[in-house]
Each structure stands twice: as structure tokens, then as C-alpha cells.
A = this chain, B = another copy of it.
């Protein structure tokens, strides 16, 4: 494949221009593009794996190989997921609200694509397809900037998508991959307000922080999760144990897994010993240390997203102390109370300031698929535009359409 170095602004302008046409395409055509992408991915597995092999060969970091590697199985899975997105309802066109004013004006608020979306992510080529199809489905064009270690894979995937998109009569540059993956170009992309309407960073805390610090384009912050399970005095301790184990251990590397257990002191002596010998490294506060053998937890620990089999433990005198701790040390992602007490369940739901607040269930359910959205762009931990798991609707905005018959303002 020939690598032509293209100026970022030119690339962005092409993608923006494509969106004008794409935004007017109906759902049948957008779905046809997705199905064509799925077919072309399966028909070009060897081409993709060859490009991926180049990336794997030149990647120097051994811990990067796992993220980078594509397989025949994996590509078939991506194609299948693409077909499933094609089956989802159209997020565009809904009349969200509508009303008539006393002067006769008819105002409707209609759901429309956002426009051009920029995705900044790490060296994970699967994100290239995943993000692109969700943008296409919702009528948005997309400029993808993945980690430099995956550039050959990303360009191969992009070429396949562009051929598929053109084959159904939509503009080729509805999707494009940033060719110049230098740090300077990354920062430049975060400030292309004339071309990009929304930036979504997908990746670790340092990537997200860099985007928040440098972007002048609106950003949706995703992913960072210091999640809590609080075991109330009235909790069914068997239920609490099952939920905690699920929240901590079922998939510790993801953002909705639990990092800190908060326990009411009245049940701590009975509950905490159950956590021993579960393969979890325990870091407890002073009260915890008096009950079970554990590593002393520091303030820094309580702020840390381990993404690993490590659990902080904090004892509290009452629910109020638990809520204060969670709101202070958490990332406002997902928190659960395990309780049999009605009033405490309601207080926790009302006062914990997080995107998802659970009673008697695992924090692991904070997920677009588990919520029934059929897709997930990410999990927003900010309060603007979208909060919590984001389905296709998060990639839409609205416009007001107003029908008059000559009205002027007095």
C-alpha cells in the first residue's frame, strides 16, 4: 500500500465535506454501507492480516502485541458485530418534541447527526472499525486517529471501508484515518474547530487527560472508573459477597469493575474474613487492618483505578460517611449499595453523584449492551450531553425546524 502523506487539515476538510452528503442519506443506504463493510472485511482477511503483521513486526513494546494483534476469528467477529449494528433502529430523524405557539408557529425538535466526529485512541485496530460503523450508522463522518503502532492495520481497514462505502454510493471520505500520527498532529487535530464537531478519546487515563487539557473542540470524557461497592449494615452478606466478587474479579481490567469496598463497621467482622484467599490483594484502612491481614491503604490507593485484582477496603460508621467517601474519592462512574433497608437504598440513589447508581446489583452492568442499547460508543463520566453508557443516540444532536406563515416578532 502506498503511504501518501496528507496534510491533516486537508484530510479533515474532506471528511467534513463528505458529511454534507452523508447527512442526507437515508437509513437504508447507511445500513447498506455497513453490510458492505462487513462483507469486504471478510473477503479481505489476508490483506488485513498482512498489514497487521507489519505492525506486529515493527512494534517494539512487547505488551503492545496483544492489543495490536488481529486474527481471522477476530475479523469475522468484527464483521458480525457490524451486521448487528445495521439491524439497530435508526437514531436519526426522530421528532423529539413538537408544539404550536399562540402566534401559529409550529416548532419541532428533530434528531440529526452531530456532523464530523474525531476519535483519538490507542494502538487497537478493532476500535477503527468499531468507532467508524457507529458514526456511519448515525450519519456522522469520522476522522480516526489511532496509535502509530497500528498505522498499517488502520490504513488497511480504512481502505476496505472506503471501498465498501463508495460501492453503495456514499462518499469515500465519510471515514478516514489520520496518516501522520505524530504528537504535533494529534494536538492539531484537537483544535480543528472548523472541521470537527466532537472529539471522543478512547483509551487510558493519560490519553483522556491529554485530550481534555488540549482540545478546544467539545469532548466527551469516557472511561475512567474508580467504582465502589458499599455493604450496608442491613445487607444480605451472601448477596454482598457474590456481587463484590463479580464487580472486582469477573473482568478486573475494565472501567466498571470495583476498586474499593466500603463496609459498615457493624458487619465488617463477619464480612471481611470472607475476602481472604480469593486471589485479591487487599489494601485496608486502619479499621480493616484490625480485623483481617491486609496491606495498609494510602489516600492515593483510594484514588487509583487498579484495573487489576487489587481491592481497597474502607470501614465507615454509617451511610453518610460512605456517601461522602464515594463522592470524594470516586470518578462518578458506577457505585452499588448492598442493603435490605428501603430508606438507605433511596438515600444512596439520591445522594451518590455518579452516572450509574445500583441497589443490590453488580457495577459491571454499566455497559451499552447490558443496558440494552445494542451498541456502545463508550461510557461517559462527564455530565454534559451524555452520561453513563452511550448508545447511538449519544452521536446525535437536534435542530429546531419552525414552520410559519409570515410571522414577525413584535
Q: Which residues in B have their C-beta under 8 angstroms from that of A389? A: 400
Contact A218 B402 (CB under 8 A): no
Check A401/B357 contact, CB under 8 A, given A246-B409, A350-B24, A371-B107.
yes
Q: Which residues in B have their C-beta under 8 angstroms from that of A382? A: 197, 218
Flag whether A356 is at the interface (Cβ < 8 A): yes
* Copies of this chain assembled into the complex: 2
Flag whether A403 is at the interface (Cβ < 8 A): yes
Q: Which residues in B have their C-beta under 8 angstroms from that of A409? A: 246, 250, 362, 364-365, 370
Q: Which residues in B have their C-beta under 8 angstroms from that of A105? A: 361, 365
Size category, A interface: 35 or more
Interface string of A213-248 (1 = CB under 8 A from B): 100101110000000000000001001001101110
Check A404/B360 contact, CB under 8 A, given A370-B101, A384-B218, A385-B384.
yes
Minimal Cβ-Cβ distance residue in B for A358: B402
Within the complex, which residue of B362, B388, B398, B407 is in contact with A400, where a contact is CB–CB below 8 Å? B388
Within the complex, which residue of B197, B213, B358, B404 is in contact with A361, where a contact is CB–CB below 8 Å? B404
Flag whether A399 is at the interface (Cβ < 8 A): yes
Minimal Cβ-Cβ distance residue in B for A407: B361
Name the 10 nearest CB pairs between A and B, nearest first.
Answer: A361-B404, A246-B408, A383-B397, A364-B409, A385-B385, A361-B407, A356-B400, A384-B385, A218-B384, A360-B404
Task: Name A residues whose Cβ lies closer than 8 Å to a Cβ of B.
Answer: 20, 23-24, 99, 101, 105, 107, 114-115, 193, 197-198, 212-213, 216, 218-220, 236, 239, 242-243, 245-247, 250, 327, 349-351, 353-362, 364-366, 370-372, 382-385, 387-389, 397-409
Known: A197-B382, A213-B216, A242-B406. 12 other contacts (CB 8 A): A101-B372, A105-B365, A193-B212, A218-B383, A220-B384, A250-B408, A358-B404, A360-B404, A361-B405, A361-B407, A370-B409, A388-B400
14 contacts between A and B (CB under 8 A): A193-B212, A197-B384, A198-B383, A212-B216, A218-B382, A242-B406, A245-B408, A250-B408, A358-B403, A358-B404, A362-B404, A364-B409, A366-B400, A387-B399
